[in-house]
Chain A
């Protein structure tokens, strides 16, 4: 997704045990009263979206809500610890391109219909520019973007289209 993800703790599964503890620290920090320190018995607890989006890594991200939502199992943004770790591992610089593409697609798919349609693009655009573009401009950009990337001509981007486009992008994961 982003370029070098140095802010995020990079999560190597090789060194998982160590990172695990760090991440757990972060997780615990978010809601000390909710998260138990003892994780040996796999307690079932979830953190709400509002807490997670306030993490410094996500705070300024225009897609913070979408990110958290797409990693949560229930789609509402409540993250269990495993999903939390999941999120960080995907956002880390170590994650491979394909994986990032998959989750990027989910993040940009605002209405969760497995396609990026015009609405999704409009929402993305407005989040990116803080709605500083005029509606005509937004319209033009969306139309152009779909025109460029849509290979099967259904006026929306499927994942195949998206992947085809995003893996060639110079800024994507570099």
Chain B
């Protein structure tokens, strides 16, 4: 998959003078796939990367920093053709040298890749050409990323770490300073130990997305705010989901015990139900139905629940068993209590009608 992206670069490289051709080219057989990839429409959630190129630079930097969205990703087909035409190499010899150097370095680290050479090439391209094609080139491999956002990204992650540490320590400072000078193109602040190559960009965007959503989850699940570390937070979330599911089971069992005949009067009640809030409706819904069914309590003993529930006669205890440390359920109960008091009269009247 990354090879397809790599071959886009190889093909564009071929348009350059032949002296630049290096031993790295072996991925030419993927040109058909590259065609398909390029002619494929951009994905739904990705805006055009090259649209960013027309923005003034500070806005772009801000966008890239603030976003957890794949704004970095997916060039449209026409733009790919455009900058391939504008693709020039400043110095072929310098490129050849760096190719030799990096092919020795990165081949050890790329055993997981399908075409280490194309990846090598993409790395070289960033070094050789200052910033213009580097960022625009990065759009091509990024096209593959959102469409194939499977666990292959984890492979890239491992790679990127190794590659980043070997190369970026040399050229990170140069890269960022050069970025600042070439104005109309996208600037990415390359952190030390992190690359500006396409894959680490995509990886960074993805990580930011995930972290943002994890933060939302932490806010939602009570007690997760103080915990740091993804594994523990995920533990809490898992516990929360499991407890909620267990509560649903428990409550449905409880309801099954209480009212075998809940559907009897529901038709009439539903038709008379207006848009009033749910809490005040509950008593009127349920009370006329529940009243004759209290004798169903004998079935309780058939439970095999871990909570040893016999709490129809002990509603307070049962409720406390179920409420862990939620705020919202207790609020709903409280509101229910106040509305229930106001409706008991109404329920008595209904009882008489029954």
Tell whether A and B belong to one assembly.
no
